[in-house]
Structures are given as structure tokens and as C-alpha cells.
């Protein structure tokens, strides 16, 4: 099998994924009245979700390459949720949160401390070899893992993206620290995987090669079992860190754009002085 043949034949049109994306898209179109920019962001999130779960990347991730699985996880944790949240109009979020039960649950899940601990805890726990190997053996566990990733990542990004104007959105300096500490947690996991002895995830050592792809992976692409594990750790460490860094720079830009307290006080004082001057001139004319 050649690379081109695999890229054409490696798609898996999973009905649960296609159906879920179709329902999300239809619900968005029916309930939201977004501008073109927000609609494109939401559609982009759904497109990346499909790419992660039905494209040849999923075939590689599930059977052949730990590094492909790590790339898939990064898409589900760091790309899909922010795009979907950025695509949500504030109005639709407000309508959902106006319902008491939904509002209480959402505000608890998106509390910055709760969201940070859940997101990073889930990321670390599911990369323990015993649980990771279980996802490769059992499709139900694998689906559950992906759902947990999406839910936890949505809660994690919520305080940063803040689609709810009345929600627990972090101030700019808080968002920077929140993202920086998450970057450290992710990088440490990436470093541990990168420098661990080969064999951390033994399922990839001799995968069941039902479609005859393994010779291409090992010889054509030059990815040995050991190199694959190192590449997976590097993906979490460097490209994953890049996503956090971009978000951190966005928080910094917002921080520096905010007016200083002294400037606000001077602006308020200036307005009061100007008002007194106008009032004085009016009295003189009278």
C-alpha cells in the first residue's frame, strides 16, 4: 500500500460521529443567529472534529502509531473546543444558562479551579499505560475517553473564551496564569513520554495489520516503535505548548489593552471637572 492509497482508503465514516456532528450543526443553525465569522469558527470546529475521528488519522491512531493518537488527542483537547466556543453567540449561551439546572451545572463545571483540575487530571490519567491500552482494546472505552476529553476541554476553555458575558470569565492576568500552569502540566507529561524507555505503550510494537499498512509505516515512513513514542511525546510538548502560548499571548494582549486604574480615575476626575466648569458658566450667564 502506498501513502496515496492509504489517504484515499483510510476514511472511516462512523455513523455516531457523523450523526453527532449533523445534530450539532442543525441545532446551531436552528437556534443561533451568528455573524459569518462565528459561523465559520463553529463550522471549523466541527470540521476538525471530523478530521480527528473519521479521517485516516484515526486509523493510524487506533492501530499503528502512538504519535498519530497523540495528534488526535491534541485536536480534541486544544483545537475543537475553542473553535466551537468562539463560534457560539452570547445569546444562545444566555438562553441555555437561564435554565436553573443547566446554569448551575455549567457554572460549576466551568469554575476555573474545577475546570483546570478536571482537564489536566483527565489528560494525565488517560495517558497512564494501563488505561491507554484499554482504549485500544475496547471501542466503548475509547469512545468514552474521547467524550470525556471533549467535555473537560470545553469546560477548561470556557473561562478563557468566555462565551457567556455574565459567566466566570477570567480577567486577562488570570487567564495568563491559568494557561501557563496548564502549559507546564502538559509539557511535563510530554517530557515524561519523550524520555521514557520504549515500550510505554506496547500495543503499537506489533499491531494487528489487517490492511497491510505496517511495512509502509515502518519502512516507507521510517517510524520505528521507539521513534514513534518519542515523536508522540514531542507533539504534546512542542506543538501542544505552542497552542497554549498563542492563547497566553492573546491574554497578554488583552491585559495590556485594558486601561490602567489610574487612567480610569483621571478620566473620571476630568469628566467631573469639565462638568463643574460647564455648570459654572451656565450660572454666570444666568
The predicted structure's pLDDT at residue 166: 54
Banded pLDDT at 261 (limits 50, 70, 90): low
Range of the domain at 219: 3-248
The predicted structure's pLDDT at residue 181: 97
Could you tell me if residue 59 is inside a domain? yes
Banded pLDDT at 8 (limits 50, 70, 90): very high
Banded pLDDT at 110 (limits 50, 70, 90): confident
pLDDT tops 80 at residue 255: yes
Could you tell me if residue 179 is inside a domain? yes
User: Taking residues 103-130, what's their average pLDDT?
Assistant: 92
Could you tell me if residue 275 is inside a domain? no
The predicted structure's pLDDT at residue 257: 80
Could you tell me if residue 284 is inside a domain? no
The predicted structure's pLDDT at residue 57: 96
Could you tell me if residue 262 is inside a domain? no
Give the other-Cβ count within 10 Å of 2's Cβ.
9
| 226-235: pLDDT as tens digits | 999 999 999 9
The predicted structure's pLDDT at residue 88: 86
User: Taking residues 103-116, what's their average pLDDT?
Assistant: 88
Could you tell me if residue 133 is inside a domain? yes
The predicted structure's pLDDT at residue 47: 97
User: Taking residues 62-85, what's their average pLDDT?
Assistant: 96
CB-CB contact of 140 with 134 (8 Å): no
Q: Based on the structure, what is the number of domains in the chain? A: 1
Question: Mean pLDDT for the chain?
Answer: 87
Percent of the chain topping pLDDT 70: 88
The predicted structure's pLDDT at residue 260: 64
The C-alpha atoms of residue 169 and residue 77 are separated, in whole angstroms, by 19
Say what the pTM is. Answer: 0.85
Could you tell me if residue 70 is inside a domain? yes
Could you tell me if residue 86 is inside a domain? yes
pLDDT tops 50 at residue 276: no
Amino acid at each position: 500500500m502506498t501513502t496515496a492509497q492509504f489517504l484515499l482508503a483510510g476514511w472511516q465514516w462512523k455513523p455516531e460521529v457523523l450523526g453527532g456532528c449533523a445534530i450539532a450543526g442543525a441545532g446551531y443553525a436552528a437556534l443561533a443567529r451568528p455573524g459569518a465569522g462565528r459561523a465559520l469558527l463553529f463550522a471549523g470546529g466541527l470540521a476538525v472534529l471530523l478530521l480527528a475521528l473519521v479521517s485516516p488519522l484515526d486509523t493510524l491512531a487506533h492501530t499503528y502509531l502512538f504519535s498519530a493518537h497523540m495528534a488526535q488527542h491534541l485536536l480534541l483537547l486544544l483545537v475543537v473546543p475553542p473553535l466551537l466556543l468562539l463560534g457560539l453567540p452570547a445569546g444562545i449561551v444566555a438562553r441555555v444558562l437561564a435554565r436553573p439546572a443547566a446554569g448551575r451545572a455549567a457554572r460549576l463545571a466551568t469554575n476555573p479551579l474545577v475546570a483546570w483540575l478536571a482537564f489536566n487530571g483527565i489528560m494525565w490519567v488517560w495517558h497512564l499505560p494501563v488505561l491507554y491500552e484499554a482504549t485500544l482494546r475496547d471501542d466503548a472505552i475509547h469512545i468514552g475517553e474521547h467524550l470525556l476529553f471533549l467535555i473537560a476541554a470545553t469546560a477548561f476553555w470556557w473561562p478563557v473564551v468566555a462565551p457567556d458575558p455574565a459567566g466566570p470569565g477570567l480577567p486577562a492576568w488570570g487567564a495568563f496564569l491559568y494557561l501557563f500552569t496548564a502549559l507546564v502540566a502538559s509539557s511535563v507529561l510530554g517530557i515524561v513520554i519523550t524520555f521514557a524507555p520504549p515500550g510505554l505503550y506496547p500495543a503499537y510494537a506489533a499491531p494487528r495489520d489487517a490492511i497491510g499498512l505496517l511495512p509502509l509505516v515502518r519502512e516507507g515512513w521510517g517510524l520505528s516503535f521507539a521513534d514513534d513514542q518519542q515523536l508522540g511525546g514531542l507533539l504534546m510538548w512542542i506543538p501542544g505548548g505552542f497552542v497554549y502560548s498563542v492563547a497566553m499571548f492573546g491574554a497578554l494582549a488583552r491585559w495590556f489593552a485594558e486601561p490602567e486604574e489610574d487612567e480610569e480615575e483621571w478620566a473620571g476626575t476630568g469628566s467631573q471637572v469639565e462638568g463643574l466648569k460647564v455648570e459654572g458658566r451656565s450660572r454666570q450667564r444666568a
